[in-house]
Amino acid sequence: MDAKFKAINDPTRREILHFLVNGPQNAGQIASQFDMSKPSISHHLDLLKQAKLIQADKKGQFIEYKLDKTGFEVIHAWFKTFSTYFEFPKPKIRIEI
Amino acid sequence: MDAKFKAINDPTRREILHFLVNGPQNAGQIASQFDMSKPSISHHLDLLKQAKLIQADKKGQFIEYKLDKTGFEVIHAWFKTFSTYFEFPKPKIRIEI
DNA sequence: TAGATAATTAAGCGAATGTCTAAATTAAAA
DNA sequence: TTTTAATTTAGACATTCGCTTAATTATCTA
């Protein structure tokens, strides 16, 4: 639990998560999008992995990262504990009969 | 944005938020539920307030705190940017005609 | 097998975080 | 008005965090 909130606390890590919405990327591709050393990005990836917000798949010499539903669901569940206090805006639906 | 993620990163602050789901409480009442000094709790309340996750209402000598929808909606919106990648479990609805 | 490439691990350092005690502020009560 | 109570502000200190460079591990290729 702590690891997940810690993971999303950092802006670089949140940006990594957003990049991965467009599909899996390997560590080098991710790092190339930041003005930051590769070891730093590697460390960020490690924290995201520990939080189960991303998954790592080793593909030969490369390591491919993608979003992991597991961690997101846990955060989402925490968030929903506040829905008794106030409802969040929902997408409108329309039913025609 | 950063302030909100920072605010929910700390376990004490998350616990404060949960206490306030049951209704407003003043600073002393909140502090009494933690094995921690009042100034520390006061500081946590300040960070939650800056993040617009809680609101403060001065009532005479007391200060009453309650949840603030503003901040929660911003976090919720961030979270929803990942819904294109995977859907989160939704409550089932049933329509009878 | 030797060399090059992808990525992580290790070590170190300044900045930010969370906690405490002591002091200050504000409002109620005697 | 003096005292008490509720709360915050200030200052100090240990821990954690995010970053860097250097070293290590693992894999591919010539």
**What's the rounded mean pLDDT across residues B27-41?**
98
User: Quick one: pLDDT at residue B87?
Assistant: 77
Mutation target for A interface from B1, B88, B90, B94: give the one with most A CBs within 10 A.
Answer: B88
Q: Could you tell me the two tokens for B7?
A: 């605010």
**What's the rounded mean pLDDT across residues A13-20?**
98
Distance from CA of A87 to the nearest CA of B (A): 9
**What's the rounded mean pLDDT across residues B46-53?**
98
Q: How far apart are CA B65 and CA A3, in angstroms?
A: 27
**Which residues sit close to strand C, CB under 7 Å?**
A 26-29, 31, 38-39, 41-43, 45-46, 56, 61-63; B 6, 9-10, 12, 36-37, 39-40, 43-44, 47, 58, 60-61
A62-67 and A54-59 strand pairing: antiparallel
Residue A38, number of CB atoms within 10 A of its CB? 13
Q: Give kind and range of the element (H or E) at residue A31.
A: helix A27-32
Q: b/e map of B47-84 (b: 16 or more CB within 10 Å)?
A: bbbebbbbbbeeeeeebbbebbbebbebbbebbeebee
**Which residues sit close to strand D, CB under 7 Å?**
A 6, 9-10, 12, 36-37, 39-40, 43-44, 47, 58, 60-61; B 26-29, 31, 38-39, 41-43, 45-46, 56, 61-63
User: Quick one: pLDDT at residue B97?
Assistant: 75
Per-residue model confidence as pLDDT tens digits over A35-91: 999 999 999 999 999 999 999 999 999 999 999 999 999 999 999 999 888 777 666
- pLDDT at position B91 over 70: no
Q: What residue ranges define each of the domains in chain B, with the CATH number in brackets?
A: 2-80 (1.10.10.10)
- pLDDT at position B90 over 90: no
Residue B8, number of CB atoms within 10 A of its CB? 23
**What's the rounded mean pLDDT across residues B74-96?**
83
- Residue A54: φ, ψ to 5°: -135, 160
pLDDT band at residue A96, thresholds of 50, 70 and 90?
A: confident
